[in-house]
A and B are shown apart, each in its own frame.
Chain A
Amino acid sequence: MASHMLKDAALFLPEIALTVTILAAIVADLIFRRVRAVVPGIVLAGLIATGFLVLGQQGSSVAIFSSMIAVDAFAVYFKLVILLAAVVVVVFSFGSAELQTGGRKLGEYYALLAAAVLGMMLMAGANNLLMMYLALELSSISSYLLSGYTREAADSSEASLKYVIYGALSSGLMLYGISILYGLTGSLDLATINHIVPVVISAGGPPLYGLLIAGILTLAGFGYKISAVPFHFWAPDVYEGAPITITAFLAVASKAGGFAMLIRFLKVTFFDATGVMAAAGTWEAVRGLRWVDLVAILSVLSMTVGNLTAIWQNNLKRLLAYSSIAHAGYMLMGVAVLNDEGIAAVMLYFVIYLFMNLGAFYAVMLIADKTGSEDIDDYKGLGSRAPFLAVALAIFLISLSGLPPTAGFIGKLYLFAALINKGWIWLAIVGALNSVIALYYYVRVIRNMFLRTDEQQSAPLSLSGMQMTMVLALLVPTLLFGLYFGPLVQLAQASVRIFGAP
């Protein structure tokens, strides 16, 4: 037993390293009160070290700690995405003027950020309903505090209140769903539940209704985390009110954790283990429970509501919030496909989404730090005031809308290819129509920057070398992956294997 634990602990090293980082950050914050760079330095080093430890786990496919947590290629991939996003956000935060106002101490901010990352990494690996719930709450509670970190700003306080109420409600609903699922199947372990679900379904009657209710309630928790309609009500307000670094973090890392957990939950729990063997790389959903249709409906709703509401927004941060809801919808299409191709497309999309979305948020942050506004009307004439930044933002937005030759096009291409190969033509058409709607509001921003002049000839905005490097570091992958995407696609396709699923 003890030797088992030790062997499992060796596979848990990345999470242990991150926990040490959190504790070190808190202690360092107490000792080095005056030096601003110490805590972010520690957290950055800890995140990078964790990243290398995660890289060392490539190729393993086991479940550790009595199958509480799975260490497999799928988890490794999502952990790397989350860590990469966190590293970028730490660098953003260090240069953010918004966070620095009022001589605020930021030590706790970085410690909480690392705690949220720990929660998201556990979400990527969670193989047990209790573990899923705990991981979700760890990342959520840290995020509630982070979104209200600029306490004196009314917007930020309001964002944290809305976040905590919607978040606590969704996770409460999810827990109630989990408790019913436990009652029906007698287990919290995903693989065991998978064995019993067909029995429950074939029994019919009240147990089947119970399973449906439990499934929908559990989906509420996942839907909240990935901000899918109709569980998205928190997203616009929180994204607009929170410090912009946290908005970027929530839009990318939090969503990655949520998607990893959702895909694992749906795949491991509800694949049909008894039915006829499907072709390699595809699987059938368990019979009698139409959860695939449910995912497709969520996907259509998220895309349509997200895009149609984004058109009316004047605050760019809020616009990007609705766009991120729409992107959750695009990625849900890949989940509904039920084969490795679809999952690989979602995973590929996440890496691309990371660069283009973080890039867009960073550009908005730099502009807001200089001009003090996120209003799209204030972006008029930006093309001449800050040509480099304006061009960069334009490229990020074009990539978000999915036009070639940017990476966003490749991401959408693989998603739609997976859909069409599987015969989901109507869903693909809805997705394509939505991309056209999306183009409209992205182009509106670009038009304001380049084709409208601003009346009061403001001074040009200058960027420091550090900021320029950071923009380039996000811009180059956005363009590069649009032209040279082979290795990334192969990596995604090699990482779809989930422990305990076909």
Chain B
Amino acid sequence: MGSLGTVWSEFLGWLPHVQLAHFLIVSAIMFSFGLYGVATRRNAILVLMGIELILNAANINLIAFARYGGVNLDGQVAAMFVIALAAAEAAVALAIVLNIYHRFQTVNIDEVSSLKE
């Protein structure tokens, strides 16, 4: 128990000194949640939200690397493009989901499968 307490206090000491690693960990957690959402959710809207999480995890990575890598601003510029693109993709995806709802009266991906053999 003692060692666990030490680890915990070390963690608490590490936490306020924000560095690259903090951002990468947040981004990795977001990426995992996104992937988990895509894999487990059957509602098309929730799947799309999982995909948004993945895109934003990548954005955090890009910006954090640009900020702490100290090399160039490419990453920040890339993130701007990705934000705009994610909006366009979400618009198209939601239009398609709306059309699916009109056609099938459901947005459950498993129920929309007339094309299976």
Contacts and interface: CB of A to CB of B under 8 A. Distances in A.
Is chain B found bound to chain A in the same assembly?
yes
A141 B48 contact: no
Contacts of A194: none
Interface of A: 130, 133-134, 137, 141, 144-145, 148, 151-152, 154-155, 157-162, 164-165, 168-169, 172-173, 175-176, 178-180, 182-183, 186-188, 236-237, 240-241, 312-313
A161 B109 CA distance: 9
Nearest to A134: B81
Contacts of A172: 34, 51, 54-55, 58
B81 A182 contact: no
B93 A164 contact: yes
Contact of B99 (A133, A148, A165): A148
A165 B103 contact: no
B55 A141 contact: no
Interface of B is mostly: helix
B24 to A, nearest CB: 8
A130 B89 contact: no
Given A157-B104, A176-B54, 11 more contacts: A130-B74, A133-B85, A134-B85, A157-B96, A160-B96, A161-B97, A179-B59, A183-B65, A188-B74, A236-B115, A313-B117
14 contacts: A130-B77, A141-B92, A151-B103, A157-B100, A157-B103, A161-B44, A164-B93, A172-B54, A175-B55, A179-B59, A183-B24, A183-B61, A188-B75, A241-B115
Contacts of A162: 115
B78 interface: yes
A312 B104 contact: no
Contacts of B74: 130, 182, 187-188
Interface string B68-96: 01011011011001100100110011011
B26 interface: no
Contacts of A178: 58, 78
Given A151-B99, A173-B54, A187-B74, A164 B92 contact: yes
A141 B88 contact: yes
Contacts of A137: 85, 88-89
B54 A183 contact: no
A159 B54 CA distance: 23
A312 B109 CA distance: 24
A237 to B, nearest CB: 4
A183 B69 contact: yes
Contacts of A161: 44, 96-97, 100, 109, 112
Contacts of A241: 115
A175 B44 contact: no
